[in-house]
Structure 1
Amino acid sequence: MRTAEMLRKSRNPSESSVFSKIYNFFVSISRHSRESLIDLACVTALIGYFLHFALPSLRGGFGADEPMNLYFYWHPGILRCLWANVCFWSNFYRPAGALYYLPLYDFFGLNPEPYRIVQVGIVAASIPIIYWLSRLLTTSRSVAFLGTIIVSYHADLANLVFRGSMIYDALCGLFYFTALAYYIHVREQRANLRSLQITVFLLLYIFALNAKEMAVTLPVIALIYEVLKWPSLGDWKLFVRQNSRSAIPPLVAGVLAAIYIYGKTHGSGPLVEAEVYRPQYSWHTFLESNAQFVNELRFHHGPIPVVALLLLWAGVFFYAFMRRDRTLLLMAFWVVLVPLPIAFLRPIRSGACLYLLLFGWAIIFAKVVSDLILLVLKYSTSLGQSVGFGATIGTVIGAAVGHRPRGAAIGAAIGAAIAACAAKLAPRKFRACAMTLVILGIAIATQWENQRLGRAAGILEFGQRTVQAIERFRSLNLQPASGSNILLKSSFPFKNEWTPLFIASLVWNDHSLQIWLEGKNKLSQQQLTKVNYVILFTESEAKLLRSPESPQL
């Protein structure tokens, strides 16, 4: 003992300081490694949960729109598609889709399984990004986990992985969440984005824009984040002076969004000329669409009253202001602003189109649940009927956010279990136990709703029809000579009447062929005389009626 004391006293202050820094460094690494392992375990569990629902989609075939989507990129060729990704403001249709479709087509042709594997992989890759973003915003692992598990798979958004034509929503979500998470990650370190970081942020944003129009809201969300980050907005001049540099990335992104919107709405053949993409600007349309969005996320498919929607929005903003919670305020703006690109369209959008919107409501729900757990813990000793109190809260929440009878039953059971544990467990263990019970309830409810709605089974069956049509066409075992003129006579009941032409072009993969579709292309007598092949395409068969080898077949 005396020897140790003498050695400690004899050590000079600078040496003690060095040993202290080394010790603190290793303690920091150990703590950081432990935190990282926990986060890794959370992400692994979330991906496993998602794959439980998503893996059946691998036998989903091709959606009704996929031959058209693939043809739109195959026809102009890879170079024009790459250039369209650079010129993101052009009228080229969602050019990021070419980066998905064309490589898969070159390697695997019209085999649907690789397409489904990559689509599931893209959505799975978004899950750690969403969890990372949630952790940055909430600083709570349990809240981030609960919010992410809701977003990772929603039964009413099953077409995000089960329908191939929803790849645009999957790609947009991946790049949107990545861009925002990257931006907030840098800003949460109390640093402004440097030139290279701004470039990365803007490139991610352009990829999101090239995937789908929903991405136009990202600059507004980033700018609101910057405003909310400032502790006091009383002195606007001081705010502008001290935050002008940090606002540069969102403002530049806003300029890109403005260029993008102008390019898409002007020029030759803009997207808004199509009836289904033509906005109908009115307050009524905006509220009606959002009412439908909220109901679908609650597994209800009838619109809620507009008054109820306005009260819900007002309640979220009021709760966020009362809590003085930056994340809740950001999510309050999120659920109003993010659906703007689709809020004025008819018919009302649904399913995977609500992927970005779901994130906002999921984080709000997770924050409310976390606060209610703390409320139960705080008053568990003073509430004599704590089990009944918890069951009542659980019933109300379950009925509000899920299918009413089943959601109420699950909520009541979980609420009662949480309240029963409140007085028996230490605060930290109670919070962990309560959040685990809520997450388990969400998983059970999602499984039940997935079975009740049965959307996945319907999509899988419909996807096989396109695959069968492709196989019937392949059964001709025909590869026309280059430069041939081909006439298709089709009675196959496709949703898109041009689908036989798309399938024929993709099966033969020859840009020199001139393919006409009877009833859609108006042919002159001279063109008819130059037809080399005539093919009949029905639901039961594909039959060669004429060829150069057998002109009278």
Structure 2
Amino acid sequence: MARLAEVGHFLLPPTVAALLFLPSLGDWFMLHDFIHLRGAAWHSAAHYLEAIFDPRDGGESLFNTGKLYRPLYYLALLVQERLFGLHPLPYHLVNVGLHVLNVALVWWLARRLLGQRSLATLAALGYALHPLAIEAVVWISAVTELLVTACTLAALAAWMESYRSQGVRAALWRAGALVLAAGAVLSREPGLAAPLALAAYHLLRAGPRQWPRLSTWLPLLPLAALVLGYVALRLPHFREAAAGEASGLGSLGWHIFENLFLYLGWPLVPVWSGDPGWTVLRGLSAILVLRLAESLLRRRDWRWAFLMLFWLLFALPYATNAPELQAGRYNYLLLAPLCILGARLLADAASWLAPRMPRLAQAASPALWAGALLALAVPALLLHVYHQRNLHAVADSSHDLLAALQAQYPRLPPGSVLYVENAPPALLFEGGPFYLDPMVDLFYGVDVQVALGPPPTSGPSVYSFVYRPR
């Protein structure tokens, strides 16, 4: 019976996560999807692989999206494009599947760190229901966030399991953790924090008294080699980021602290509005989170210190981006340690309130849990619906334009110029056809130059189109 209850607790959060994103399975492509799929479709596999693994290129020649190095992410996109073509449903199924896996990993980690399945379920439900990082699941190109999170959480799970094993089995768990940490590093730049998080877990678990011993540091040598190897590979681009805004890598500056404060407030107030009222509320929420973190640190429990350090290690690289470029999806991984800490704090609050609510008697604890879940779930579900509808509208406007364009021009010749009037904002960036151009190229299968506005002249290779929203 106890085993059945354990399975039920484990399955509940992933099931909720899958059900929440069923509406997104009908969405079309959007934004960077067109850039990435064009890069995968228009190049041979050999050329594509050479470009994404070359540290001097990193895929910039394919996508023109900056000085990034994410070969595992780009490899996943190539495999999906070869398997699924231009059918969006399988891409969405992959994203939702990875999200379900990540929710299960959060449950597993919380079970190990908190020691109670009810708290693990609460933490994983919080992660599944939280609406802040919804675009990481709904947006196909945001699979990079899902990959770096899956690799990081799985690496940490394997690393933790090694301390419960001995001999060859422990060595295999650590080898698996190293491979998964490398996967995180190669999925997205903040993934470099994955091996650092494993090292932090090892050192905090051992305790300061063990730090002077050489044997304490020996297990960390493979992790150090991974970090140093990646830094050496990317050092020229890191120097660019230190000197100023490097393309796609962010920069060092005071804005990092502004972004960290934003990350602390967003989990409690997951609203993107720049309205002064919301800004003040997010600021107050950030202060509250800091005070709660301080109260946990005073307990001198290495587990809480590790979760906070885990959050900070990943938050810092995300925070290097300019404040105006911050997005909810950057919090997808950051929410994992916060949800585990939140479950612990809610349990402490329930324990403190239970003896002060004599009317509830023995039912106090279940009633408090039910009330907490209801209070968290209702606004989270409403925000989920709201954000999914907004993202659906972004994808829908792109699909509508393409359908109308193809109805007017079933074919466009290579090298032609297409002038588009009234293009939807979802296909523009900084006033240009940043997403519109690759979308036209991708679905017409030829290189078409897209410009905005009416055509200045007419000619055999000049085409014009006026988008009229439904």
TM-score bracket for this pair, using the shorter chain length: 0.7 to 0.9
Q: Are 1:489 and 2:465 an aligned pair?
A: no
Instruction: Give 1:367's match in structure 2, choosing from 339, 344, 347.
Output: 344
Instruction: Give 1:170's match in structure 2, choosing from 146, 156, 163.
Output: 146
Task: For residue 273 of structure 1, give the secondary structure of its aligned residue in structure 2.
Answer: coil
Unaligned runs of 5+ in 2: 60-67, 272-277
> 1:254-286 CA deviation, whole Å, 9 max, x = no partner?
22442354264369xx99533x6431412xx23
Q: Are 1:286 and 2:256 an aligned pair?
A: yes
> 1:478-536 CA deviation, whole Å, 9 max, x = no partner?
375xxx54333333343141434312332244xxx55434589xxxxxxx9xx985443
The residue identity in structure 2 corresponding to 1:443 is: A
1:295 aligned residue: 265
CA contact (8 A) 2:265 2:286 kept: no
Q: Distance in 2 between matches of 1:129 and 1:314?
A: 27
CA contact (8 A) 1:214 1:342 kept: yes
1:353 aligned residue: 330
Instruction: Give 1:444's match in structure 2, choosing from 363, 378, 381.
Output: 378
Q: Distance in 2 between matches of 1:47 and 1:306?
A: 31
Instruction: Give 1:237's match in structure 2, choosing from 212, 217, 224.
Output: 212
> 1:6-26 CA deviation, whole Å, 9 max, x = no partner?
xxxxxxxxxxxxxxxxxxxxx
2:227 aligned residue: 254
Q: Distance in 2 between matches of 1:187 and 1:248?
A: 17
Q: CA deviation at 1:190?
A: 5.7
TM-score (ref. length: structure 2): 0.81
Question: RMSD of the TM alignment (CA)?
Answer: 3.5
Q: Distance in 2 between matches of 1:307 and 1:473?
A: 48
Q: CA deviation at 1:52?
A: 3.2
List aligned pairs for 1:38-187, cutoff 5 A.
38-83=5-50, 86=53, 91-92=58-59, 93=68, 94-187=70-163
Q: Are 1:478 and 2:414 an aligned pair?
A: no
**Aligned pairs, number:** 440
Task: For residue 30 of structure 2, give the secondary structure of its aligned residue in structure 1.
Answer: coil
Q: CA deviation at 1:312?
A: 4.5
Higher mean C-alpha deviation, range 253-262 or range 356-365: 253-262
Unaligned runs of 5+ in 1: 1-33, 381-385, 388-418, 521-527, 542-553
- Larger-Rg structure: 1
Q: CA deviation at 1:367?
A: 0.9
- Return closer, same or farther for 1:83/1:236 CA change in 2, 3 Å cut-off: same
2:464 aligned residue: 536
CA contact (8 A) 2:268 2:282 kept: no
Q: CA deviation at 1:160?
A: 2.1
1:424 aligned residue: 362
Q: Distance in 1 between matches of 2:221 and 2:367?
A: 43
Task: For residue 297 of structure 1, give the secondary structure of its aligned residue in structure 2.
Answer: coil
Q: Distance in 2 between matches of 1:107 and 1:360?
A: 34
TM-score (ref. length: structure 1): 0.70
Q: Distance in 2 between matches of 1:128 and 1:111?
A: 28
Q: Are 1:460 and 2:436 an aligned pair?
A: no
Task: For residue 449 of structure 2, give the secondary structure of its aligned residue in structure 1.
Answer: strand
> 1:297-352 CA deviation, whole Å, 9 max, x = no partner?
11254156979857843652442342x32221111223333210122321251311
CA contact (8 A) 2:204 2:306 kept: yes
- Which is bigger in relative contact order (C-alpha 8 A, separation at least 6)? 2
Task: For residue 110 of structure 1, give the secondary structure of its aligned residue in structure 2.
Answer: coil
1:414 aligned residue: none
- Return closer, same or farther for 1:112/1:222 CA change in 2, 3 Å cut-off: same
Q: Distance in 2 between matches of 1:187 and 1:85?
A: 36
Q: Percent identity?
A: 16
